[in-house]
Amino acid sequence: MVQDMALLVQYVVVGLAVGSLYALVALGIVLLYRTSRILNFAHGDLATFGTFIAFALLTAWRWPFAAASLGSLLTTAVVGAAFFFLVIRPAKESTLLGKIVITLGLALVLQGATVILWGTGTKILPFPLSDIKVYRLGQVVVSQISVGSFAVGLALMGALYVLVQHTRVGLAMRAVSQDTVAAQVLGIPVKQIFALTWGLASALGAAAGILLAPATLLDPYMMLDPFLKGFAAAVLGGIDSMPGAAVGGLLLGVLEALFGGYVSVKFKTTLAFLIIIAVLVVRPEGLLGREYKRRV
Amino acid sequence: MRLARIGVILSLLVLAATATVAQPQERGVTDTEIVIGSSQPLSGPAAFWGQGVGGGMDAYLKVINDQGGINGRKIRLILRDDGYLPPRAVANVRELVERERVFAIVSLIGSANTFAVRDYVIENQLLWITPTADANMWAGFKDKKYLFVAYPGYVDEGRILTVYGARQMGAKSVAVFYQNDLYGQKGLVGVKRGVAEARIKLATAVSYEVTDRDVSAHALKLRQSGADTVILYALPTAGALIVREMAKIGYTPKLLSSFTLADPIMFQLAGEAWNGVTLTAFFPVPGTDAKVDAMLETLIKTNPQLRASPFNALAGVAFLEPFVEALRRTGPNVTKDGVVRAFESLRNWDGEVIRGVTFGANRRQGINRIYIVRSEGGQYKKLTDWIEYPVGF
């Protein structure tokens, strides 16, 4: 009985650790979607690109980890914002679907660039925390790296929350997301806000990539699965809701771990997609989203 | 109208005449070169295999061509990327055959990919040298005249590995971590046979998907089974991830693995946890054989990037060597049937890398032996002599 309980807790712990990273990915997707209604299919590849930047800064340039991470986030943010200015904005006449297709193109370009610059081989991102060092709480085992990435993930979510809810920039972002024309009339620099959102979302992706790399190893395709899971988490939580993305990510992580543990590890990957279907059928706005109610 | 018809007939005749003039030889063979093709995972989850094997084949052929080629002809390899996806492998092979008109297909990584192109290649009566896939799939398969396989079967390998684990390492209860496709499933079949033969217990079999990046629940599942030994049939990335995940939750069983994870890159990817892993080998691993080490040096001199994947690069050479030897024996008049006869004349033939290759009129399985190695401090140590298994086809 005690053992069963410990096992359950262990699955939940494992699920939370990976779920916090899904949440980070989901937040990047949601942040951009709320503001611009664009579903960014390049999010995963932006994240991978950012992680490789961190890898280059750490190994070739020998920067300390914190500096390299910061450098990576900034570079990825600049790439994201530049993409907005150079491609998305000039294509403003295109439909929403057209813009989404453009992000698919960006995904291919970024993946190609990553392969050309760093090759297709699997690499190890030097990480300051150990994944072999573990803490034991009774029969439940948690690795140092899981605790660390969970904490950093939560901290980043908290920081984003403060930024969006309690700063003038955040207010402007929310205003733009609710009504772009009205925001423009009120003197909000909409163009800059869009660019900032692209940058911020991209940086969030890079952060998720850096935190995921020790768990997934680093190669140009590392974000394929986490991106899909992040997307599922965003749909689950409500693709219009930032708290929803966070909750959705954590919930998906835990559900996946429990499903793998108690139902079928073979169909664990399928679960995320079943969840997307179920949510869209039963509650299309997601757990915490309000989108459809408001607009009807 | 009539004139036009005559014109068409005439031009067709001219075309037919030039076609026969332009093709006095086998397709893919000219006076100066022999064109061969391969589809490999140069990108995607198995890129590490494809880059190593593809790079090794390319470097080896460069060395041969620099020495003047074979009987005056250079060998040109056309390498296509399939991203480890069976549909892309099919498209690649069709392109190689129908557009590039290659003389032979060499290797082609992935049991699922090989399975996907199998019927097409066999129906088109193409020479196919060592599909890098479970060799057991060919047993009982008809029309293998143009197929030559010098690669082990995962069923044979899994059985031998499991029996070794039980008898020499005291394994009582084994768990399998396997890829949910033909590669992993065949490995699992082998392990099941080994478990039955050695009368031990199969605690659990946990599968993963090629795209999976989070294997934490898989690791817990393995630990929960209480197995004292875990056998891996996985991609290098997935293999490294599961070993790290098991270490993360404090689960440290004995580890056995297919030779597919024999590249020293595993020491980097899996770290400390890769020490003491017991694997099989189908050619002498680097560091245990002078000829193999010399070949590796030559490969690295030709392409320094191969230093990162020595075992896989050498495997690429091993896949080509019997073919190169068969071409040599065929002589200057290269025909498909001539090469088949030359292949069939190989008896216990040793290359620089692959050893003991035998083909025959009714034998298409070129090798039927492996041996056991153990990983120690970035190197592999030989533990046994060759262990033979029955020739299946």
B213 Cα to chain A: minimum distance (Å): 5
What's the N-to-C CA distance of chain B in angstroms? 59
Nearest CB neighbour to B43, from listed A120, A122, A217: A120
Name the token pair of B95.
Answer: 């392109």
Q: Over 50: is that where the pLDDT of A134 sits? A: yes
User: B70 and B215 share a domain?
Assistant: no
Contact indicator for B152, B367 with CB cutoff of 8 Å? yes
Q: Over 60: is that where the pLDDT of A294 sits? A: no
Q: List the alpha helices (DSSP H) in chain A.
A: 2-36, 43-59, 65-83, 96-118, 144-166, 168-178, 180-185, 190-216, 224-237, 242-258, 268-282, 291-295
**Any domain includes B370:** no
**Any domain includes B4:** no
User: B384 and B265 share a domain?
Assistant: yes
**Average pLDDT rounded to a whole number, residues B61-86:** 96
A142 Cα to chain B: minimum distance (Å): 7
B388 Cα to chain A: minimum distance (Å): 34
Q: In whole angstroms, what is the distance from residue B129 CA to residue A21 CA?
A: 44
Q: Which of A120, A218, A256 to mutate to test the interface with B (most CBs of B within 10 A)?
A: A120
pLDDT number for residue A291: 57
Cβ–Cβ of A120/B42 closer than 8 Å?
Answer: yes
**Any domain includes B60:** yes
Which among B125, B166, B120 has a CA at the least distance from the CA of B144? Answer: B125
Name the token pair of A255.
Answer: 């559900």
A145 Cα to chain B: minimum distance (Å): 9
Residue with tokens 């190169």: B324
**Residue percentage of chain A with pLDDT more than 90:** 68
Name the token pair of B377.
Answer: 């401090």
Which pLDDT band holds residue B24 (cuts at 50, 70, 90)? low
Rounded to the nearest 5 degrees, what angle is found at the Cα of B251, between the Cα atoms of B250 and B253? 145
**Average pLDDT rounded to a whole number, residues B319-341:** 96
Contact indicator for A68, A128 with CB cutoff of 8 Å? no
Instruction: List, for residues A211-237, the tens digit of each pLDDT value.
Output: 999 888 899 999 999 999 999 999 999
Q: In whole angstroms, what is the distance from residue B305 CA to residue B336 CA?
A: 34
B162 Cα to chain A: minimum distance (Å): 23
pLDDT number for residue B22: 47
**Average pLDDT rounded to a whole number, residues B71-95:** 96
pLDDT number for residue B3: 57
Q: In whole angstroms, what is the distance from residue B192 CA to residue A166 CA?
A: 60
Q: Over 70: is that where the pLDDT of B12 sits? A: no
Instruction: List, for residues B224-254, the tens digit of each pLDDT value.
Output: 999 999 999 999 999 999 999 998 888 999 9
Which pLDDT band holds residue B23 (cuts at 50, 70, 90)? very low
**Any domain includes B294:** yes
Decide: residue B91, CB within 10 A, 0-12 exposed, 13-18 middle, 19+ buried: middle
pLDDT number for residue B304: 95
Q: Residues of B at the A interface (Cβ-Cβ below 8 Å)?
A: 42-45, 47-48, 51, 180, 206-209, 211-214, 216-218, 220-221, 224, 236-237, 240-241, 244, 247-250, 265, 268-269, 271-273, 308-309
Q: In whole angstroms, what is the distance from residue B83 CA to residue B340 CA?
A: 31
- Give contacts of A141 with chain B, Cβ < 8 Å: 248-250
Find, in chain B, the residue whose alpha carbon is nearest to that of A133: B248
Q: Over 50: is that where the pLDDT of A295 sits? A: no
Cβ–Cβ of B216/A18 closer than 8 Å?
Answer: yes
User: B354 and B381 share a domain?
Assistant: no
Nearest CB neighbour to B248, from listed A134, A212, A216: A134
Instruction: List, for residues A157-172, the tens digit of each pLDDT value.
Output: 999 999 999 999 999 9
Q: In whole angstroms, what is the distance from residue B250 CA to residue B89 CA?
A: 40
B205 Cα to chain A: minimum distance (Å): 10
Q: Which of B213, B222, B306 to mutate to test the interface with A (most CBs of A within 10 A)?
A: B213
**Mean pLDDT score across all residues of chain B:** 92
Which pLDDT band holds residue A122 (cuts at 50, 70, 90)? confident
Which among A81, A24, A43, A27 has a CA at the least distance from the CA of A197? Answer: A81
DSSP-assigned beta bridge partners for residue A143: A134
Domain count, chain B: 2
Which CATH number goes with the domain that contains B173? 3.40.50.2300
pLDDT number for residue B4: 62
**Any domain includes B203:** yes
Which among A285, A234, A276 has a CA at the least distance from the CA of A30? Answer: A234
Q: In whole angstroms, what is the distance from residue A204 CA to residue B380 CA?
A: 42
Q: Over 60: is that where the pLDDT of B280 sits? A: yes
pLDDT number for residue A214: 85
Q: What is the largest CA-CA distance in chain A?
A: 64
User: B116 and B200 share a domain?
Assistant: no
User: B273 and B159 share a domain?
Assistant: yes
User: B291 and B147 share a domain?
Assistant: yes
Q: Over 70: is that where the pLDDT of B21 sits? A: no
Which pLDDT band holds residue A111 (cuts at 50, 70, 90)? very high
User: B260 and B379 share a domain?
Assistant: yes
- Give contacts of B44 with chain A, Cβ < 8 Å: 120, 221
Q: Residues of A at the B interface (Cβ-Cβ below 8 Å)?
A: 7, 10-11, 14-15, 17-18, 115, 119-122, 124, 131-132, 134, 136, 141, 143, 145-146, 212, 215-217, 219-222, 224-226, 229, 256-257, 260-261, 265-266, 268-269
Name the token pair of A251.
Answer: 């919930």
User: B314 and B203 share a domain?
Assistant: no
Cβ–Cβ of A256/B271 closer than 8 Å?
Answer: no
- Give contacts of A218 with chain B, Cβ < 8 Å: none
pLDDT number for residue B6: 63
Domain extent, residue B81, equals: 33-152+286-361
Q: In whole angstroms, what is the distance from residue B117 CA to residue B88 CA?
A: 10
**Average pLDDT rounded to a whole number, residues B160-180:** 97
pLDDT number for residue B355: 96
Instruction: List, for residues A17-58, the tens digit of each pLDDT value.
Output: 999 999 999 999 999 998 888 999 999 999 999 999 999 999
User: B342 and B379 share a domain?
Assistant: no
Q: Helix, strand, or coil here: B33? A: strand
**Any domain includes B161:** yes
**Any domain includes B367:** no
Which pLDDT band holds residue A4 (cuts at 50, 70, 90)? confident
Which among B111, B197, B213 has a CA at the least distance from the CA of B158? Answer: B197
| Inter-chain CB pairs, A–B, below 8 Å | 113
Decide the pairing of beta strands B379-382 and B369-376.
Answer: antiparallel
User: B238 and B383 share a domain?
Assistant: yes
Could you write out the three-class secondary structure of B267-331? HHHHHHHHCCCEEEECCCCCCCCHHHHHHHHHHHHHCHHHHHCHHHHHHHHHHHHHHHHHHHHHC
Q: Over 70: is that where the pLDDT of B10 sits? A: no
- Give contacts of A17 with chain B, Cβ < 8 Å: 216
Cβ–Cβ of B220/A261 closer than 8 Å?
Answer: yes
Which pLDDT band holds residue B175 (cuts at 50, 70, 90)? very high
Which pLDDT band holds residue B186 (cuts at 50, 70, 90)? very high
**Average pLDDT rounded to a whole number, residues B48-59:** 95
Cβ–Cβ of B214/A146 closer than 8 Å?
Answer: no
**Any domain includes B2:** no
User: B88 and B237 share a domain?
Assistant: no
Which pLDDT band holds residue A59 (cuts at 50, 70, 90)? very high
- Give contacts of A224 with chain B, Cβ < 8 Å: 211, 213
Nearest CB neighbour to A131, from listed B213, B248, B269: B248
Nearest CB neighbour to B236, from listed A15, A122, A131: A122
A263 Cα to chain B: minimum distance (Å): 11
**Mean pLDDT score across all residues of chain A:** 91
Name the token pair of B168.
Answer: 């020499």
Q: Give the DSSP letter string of B126-169.
A: -EEE--BS-GGGGTT-S--TTEEB-S--HHHHHHHHHHHHHHHH
Q: Give the DSSP letter string of B333-376.
A: S--HHHHHHHHHT--SB--SSS--B--BTTB-B---EEEEEEEE
A 10 A CB-CB count for B217 gives 26
User: B47 and B159 share a domain?
Assistant: no
Cβ–Cβ of B48/A215 closer than 8 Å?
Answer: no
Nearest CB neighbour to B213, from listed A7, A10, A216: A216
B189 Cα to chain A: minimum distance (Å): 17
- Give contacts of B248 with chain A, Cβ < 8 Å: 131-132, 134, 141, 143, 145-146
Nearest CB neighbour to A120, from listed B47, B180, B206: B47
A277 Cα to chain B: minimum distance (Å): 20
